[in-house]
Amino acid sequence: MVRVRFAPSPTGYLHVGGARTALFNWLYARKLGGQFLLRIEDTDKARSSDDSTRAIFDGLIWLGLQWDEDVVFQGANVQRHARDAAALLESGAAYRCFCTAAELDGRRAEAEAKQETFRYDRRCDRLEAADVASRTAAGLPHTIRFRVPEGTTTWNDIVHGDISFPNKDLDDLVILRSDGTPIYNLAVVSDDIAMRITHVLRGEDHISNTPKQILLYRALGGALPRFAHFPNVLGTDGKKLSKRHGATAVGDYEHLGILPDAMCNFLALLGWSPGGDREVMSPAEMIEAFSEDGLLAKASVFDIKKLEWMNGQHLQRIPLEALAARVAVAIEAAGFSSVTDLNARPEWTALLVDLLRIRSRTVDDIVRQSQPYFGTSVAYDEQATAKQWKDAALSRTLLAGARAALATLEPWDATAVEPALRILAEAHGVGAGKLFQPLRVALTGVAESPGIFDVLLLLGRDRSIARIDAALSHPRLAP
């Protein structure tokens, strides 16, 4: 039974790299019918916050990465961590270290001055047993250090293949602080054993922790999981993605009008390929296509342009009703209309969203373009009026003609609107485009919109007539 976990530290928002790690764990579990667990690594109380924990939950829920079982809070397990450290002491795999932080700092500075790598010299491991016993009995503060055995530590990484570390390069690591709190590597291994984790899938920055953790697994008698380390996510400048590159919080993309399925699809392709040139996939399609073989070892680039393109693809693919519901909320937030009003005319709303999504990459694009279809007036775009109403006399004549034709047109639908406008253009000896473009600007204020007949239907007769009147009294069209 596959059991994987996402183990963020709640010290900020859910960032893009973390979300990708969560997604790969989720895909792995869903593909193999396993469990995807969530562990909040909150042992560092000073840096952890409830707000961050909430932001992580919200981000995962928004992305649709529902975890199985109850959330594990690492901080609740510190007694087990201490018990595991005591067991290692007992078995002789660890020893008490009485060196103080100040002493260690001094020795580190000395080594650095000689341009040497500082390594703990194991002096406390050489203390006589009686000495250790009396210092301990006297209550002298001490940490617990894990004694790194001789040899080489190797694992077969799912992403990178065999990775080896000579143990002599690993310092005897502190596993329990003098105040009895665990150090990261011990807490992680202790929890992963307790949670029966079978695969540890995480970012490449943890590669150097893995040999230490493998040694701890062995010393604690835990079954070794398999490991995968995903390569870094880079910005378009080739540097590791960070706040310098702009929005790195998943929540920011939600507010930019990115769809969760598009975000997941985009994140999945940062380090995974289903093969061929296949790119646009729903979560279900990704689960279907997911395999270890598709995981890539080379770093990938976070390109916001690609995310927007991806979002545009998903905007076309998601069921209209679901998209319309999202857009309605965003339209209300923009202050153009209310969800109640939009829900009261579902067909109109669906048509509006369907027509606008074709030329949109984000929900925000749709909202922006929806503005002309609400409110009593529109703002006339300078460039659009200058270009499309250039010949003021002709524009005036055509718009007045359109007004007259539309005012009495029956029925108000596509079958009647189209021939009426085409006849009008012909009567004035101009091509249809010569009428449609000035009319489009009159109706919407801008030069780009859905087809003119659709625009008229969306606006309705009264609003269309009012817009043409507004255009006719615009300074540029003044006689």
Q: Which of these ranges, 3-11, 57-65, 241-249, 310-318, lies near ligand GLU under the rule CB under 6 A?
A: 3-11
Please pick, from the candidates 8, 17, 182, 271, the single residue that binds ligand GLU as defined by CB under 6 A. Answer: 8
22 or 258: whose CB is closer to ligand GLU? Answer: 22
- Torsions phi, psi for 22 (to 5 deg): -60, -45
CB of 192 to ligand GLU, least distance (A): 8
Which of 3, 30, 96, 202 binds ligand GLU (CB under 6 A)? It is: 202
Q: Which of 199, 206, 212, 229 binds ligand GLU (CB under 6 A)?
A: 206
Which CB atom, from 195 or from 356, has the smaller least distance to ligand GLU?
Answer: 195
Cα(96)–Cα(174) distance, integer angstroms = 9
Q: Considering beta carbons, is residue 222 or 372 the nearer one to ligand GLU?
A: 222
The residue (of 16 and 356) whose beta carbon lies closer to ligand GLU is 16
Q: Shortest gap between Cβ of 437 and ligand GLU (angstroms)? A: 55
Cα distances (angstroms) measured from residue 451 to each of 57, 189, 203, 309, 436:
42, 61, 48, 23, 9
Of 101-160, which residues contact ligand GLU (CB under 6 A)? none
CB of 179 to ligand GLU, least distance (A): 20
Cα(432)–Cα(437) distance, rounded to whole angstroms?
9
Structure tokens at 191: 């929890």
Among 3, 4, 7, 176, contact with ligand GLU (rule: CB under 6 A): 7
Q: What's the gap between Cα 83 and its chain centre?
A: 37
CA dist 14 → 28, 51, 180, 412, 464 (Å):
20, 11, 29, 50, 46
CB atoms within 10 A of CB 280: 17
Q: Tokens 């078995």 appear where?
A: 91
Instruction: Note whether 155 and 163 are within 8 A (CB).
Output: yes
**Which residue lies nearer to ligand GLU by CB, 9 or 265?**
9
442's enclosing H/E stretch is helix 432-444
Selected range binding ligand GLU among 7-15, 30-38, 57-65, 172-180, rule: CB under 6 A: 7-15
Query: Degrees (nearest 5) of the Cα angle 294, 297, 299?
Result: 115
Which residues are paired to 6 by β-bridges?
38
The answer to whether the bond into 411 is cis (omega within 30° of 0) is yes
Q: In angstroms, give the least distance from the CB of 9 to ligand GLU.
A: 4
The reply to whether 191 sits near ligand GLU by the rule CB under 6 A is no
Pairing of strands 94-97, 143-146: antiparallel
Out of 23, 38, 124, 188, point to the residue binding ligand GLU (CB under 6 A): 188
Residue 383 CA to residue 393 CA, distance in Å, equals 18
DSSP letter assigned to residue 240: B
| Closest CB 169 distance from ligand GLU, rounded Å | 20
Binder to ligand GLU among 3, 9, 264, 372 (CB under 6 A)?
9
| Residue 413 C-beta: closest distance to ligand GLU, Å | 58
Q: Which residues, 35 to 54, sit near ligand GLU by CB under 6 A?
A: 41
**Gyration radius of the chain's alpha carbons:** 32
Least spacing, CB of residue 206 vs ligand GLU, in Å: 6
- Confirm if 66 and 27 have CB atoms less than 8 A apart: no
Residue 203 Cβ, how far from ligand GLU at the closest point, in Å? Answer: 7
User: How far apart (Å, rounded) are the C-alpha atoms in residues 445 and 40?
Assistant: 51
Selected range binding ligand GLU among 6-14, 225-233, 380-388, 389-397, rule: CB under 6 A: 6-14
Which entry of 168, 239, 243, 387 is annotated as an active-site residue? 243
Shortest Cβ 445–ligand GLU spacing (Å) = 49
Indicate the DSSP class of residue 444. H
Which of the ranges 1-9, 127-135, 223-231, 448-456 carries the binding residues for ligand GLU, by CB under 6 A? Answer: 1-9
**What are the beta bridge partners of residue 240?**
234
CB-based contacts of 204, cutoff 8 Å, min separation 6 = 229, 230, 231, 232
Distance of alpha carbon 444 from alpha carbon 26, whole angstroms: 45
DSSP state, residue 67: P
For helices 260-268 and 304-317, give the axis angle rounded to 10 degrees: 130
Give the count of beta carbons closer than 10 Å to the beta carbon of residue 405. Answer: 16
User: Is 243 designated active site?
Assistant: yes
Query: Under the rule (CB under 6 A), what is the footprint of ligand GLU?
Result: 7-9, 41, 188, 202, 206
Q: Which residues are catalytic?
A: 243
